[in-house]
Structure 1
């Protein structure tokens, strides 16, 4: 028996590492497939990706599975193009830099597929779109030669009123995301596809499940924008809360009561931000924009300690400080919030 085990171990060690890919490398035909087989790190990631994809499809209805499959097919087309110079599928053997680029895309893809899961008794699945285009202003010395767009949102795989209302909310988020683009940029075209023509920036808008508790489903939308040639990209996050018992999105009136709460709550949040940040605080509410952000339910989260307010880079501190979250204690909110507001924390 020991001799058999040792012989098997030797045999396994003799198998080429490239065969760790999720497909038969002997049948690899395209430069994309050959790159996976020729680079051990890519082969290993491809194995994990295959598992992530199979897991993502598990337990889904036919319609939901079709949506996940469509997203995977779109990603495969995107991945074959994104590491090149012209937005077209790479037609020559991958360079080491291109293989490294592809490895990063595999890692991102594995993470995206993890949005397909059971959480809090709900089966969520991702809906995605991808786009890659050549940046016509790039040259041989440009670091960014293609512009990319990626959009991800989640839906509930169930046929009932709650799922219909939740999925309608995520559809509306698409329109809200589009409205936040720059004056000359659009996330989507009129047909609902990712809009072409924004060839000087990379844009990623991803909405995933942040939390499910007894009262709500909370989604987090992470937005990233990088203008080619800029010193750095910019990013931010917002939340969307769905009330389970009432099968609808949360409204400000579910949390605050009466008139004038906006001014009082904004003052409390700014006071807390100043206390938390100290000398790093750089908030300016002279235009009222900071108060407007604070009183927007998309900036709120709910904890045992209080209402957390989310600030994106530059809003209350320098870019290097990153995103900032401050918590206004429930005790400070007495008289401002509804009797049921604190229930949102559990």
Structure 2
């Protein structure tokens, strides 16, 4: 179950049962799921916060966007009832302490995702969420994980202007790969893997006059593995061009590639104790040219690496920042505008 690989809700184990503190009338709780929310104060408090987050997330949305967010909430409720069980079905018996912790993590995730539905730089942003839970066909009676849980979330702009239509179309195309939309190949998508937990969260990192930058946090756990793994990538939507950013939007020609590699390699070796793995040096050529690894700051170009790519897992997902002063001579005409725009 999700709780057995997630941390952060251990305080639920110490809670004293109290009724009537949830967002609904606990006297009318009729399912094990509802009774679980009412029995533990911390979970009841989370339920109240979630109700407020949901109401806030709906504020100011168009009729179409409201329906999408409402659909996501219904799907989440059905998911939450099943995600902390052993058979991916609503639980009938009382929830135990592990189950309470599992529910707490689900509530925390949902609240955080609802909080992304808000105004950002004049745009009304909301999230499109999809949830799945399915039995693990290889799970034994004593398996720690008997169901696979899937959580996917990505932003949309509530609007019908050219920018909103183009941005939303790119987001729809991206999420189609997760097996939830028509035309996706569900046989090879993460959503079809019943032996792995997945959480893919795409959120707005920054909005400027020239771009909308998104961060994509993709976490997964293969049942039976020692630990989960993750990647952090970025997507940059150019608002004037209504398309995704490509390398030539930032750098002119090809002359930037070699010096950028050298700068990145030097910074990696400076910041990682003992330097990067020797066998990873040749891969830096490819890594530094991938725009999905790029993020932008006032200090410089941020280049993202993933766990295990250049050093041990304990170092996490390393990043390096290359000062713009070292790169300005290679920038394209549009580079400065995209990088420095506010």
TM-score of the aligned structures, taking structure 1 as reference length: 0.87
Distance 1:114 1:295, change over 3 A: same
Match of 1:49 in 2: 50
Distance 1:187 1:230, change over 3 A: farther
Match of 1:11 in 2: none
Distance 2:254 2:193 in 1: 43
Q: Provide, for residues 199-228 of structure 1, a one-character-per-residue CA deviation record: whole Å limited to 9, x for no partner.
A: 111111111111112322110111011111
Q: Does 1:243 align with 2:238?
A: yes
- How far residue 321 of structure 1 moved from its aligned partner, in angstroms, is 0.5
Distance 1:66 1:190, change over 3 A: closer
Q: Matched residue of 2:287: which SS?
A: helix
Tell me, yes or no, if the aligned pair for 1:150 and 1:205 is still in contact at 8 Å: yes
Equivalent of 1:199 in 194, 202, 217: 194
Tell me, yes or no, if the aligned pair for 2:175 and 2:181 is still in contact at 8 Å: no
Paired residues for 1:157-196 under 5 Å: 157-174=158-175, 178=177, 187-188=179-180, 192=184
Match of 2:7 in 1: none
- How far residue 160 of structure 1 moved from its aligned partner, in angstroms, is 0.4
Q: Matched residue of 1:104: which SS?
A: helix
- How far residue 267 of structure 1 moved from its aligned partner, in angstroms, is 2.5
Q: Matched residue of 2:329: which SS?
A: coil
Distance 2:113 2:191 in 1: 23
- How far residue 94 of structure 1 moved from its aligned partner, in angstroms, is 1.3
Equivalent of 2:250 in 246, 255, 260: 255
Taking CA–CA contacts closer than 8 Å with sequence separation of 6 or more, which of the two structures ends up with the larger relative contact order? 2
My pick for the range that moved more, 186-195 or 109-118, is 186-195
Across the two proteins, how many residue pairs are aligned to each other?
321
Equivalent of 1:331 in 322, 325, 328: 325
Distance 1:111 1:317, change over 3 A: same
Tell me, yes or no, if the aligned pair for 1:189 and 1:195 is still in contact at 8 Å: no
Structure 1 stretches of 4+ moved >6 Å: none
My pick for the range that moved more, 331-340 or 55-64, is 331-340
- How far residue 77 of structure 1 moved from its aligned partner, in angstroms, is 0.5
Paired residues for 1:61-72 under 5 Å: 61-72=62-73
- Structure number with bigger Rg: 1
Distance 1:295 1:35, change over 3 A: same
**CA-atom RMSD in angstroms:** 2.0
Match of 1:211 in 2: 206
TM-score of the aligned structures, taking structure 2 as reference length: 0.88
Match of 2:9 in 1: none
Match of 1:74 in 2: 75
Q: Does 1:221 align with 2:221?
A: no
Unaligned residue ranges in structure 2 (runs of 5+): 1-16
Match of 1:183 in 2: none
Distance 2:278 2:301 in 1: 19
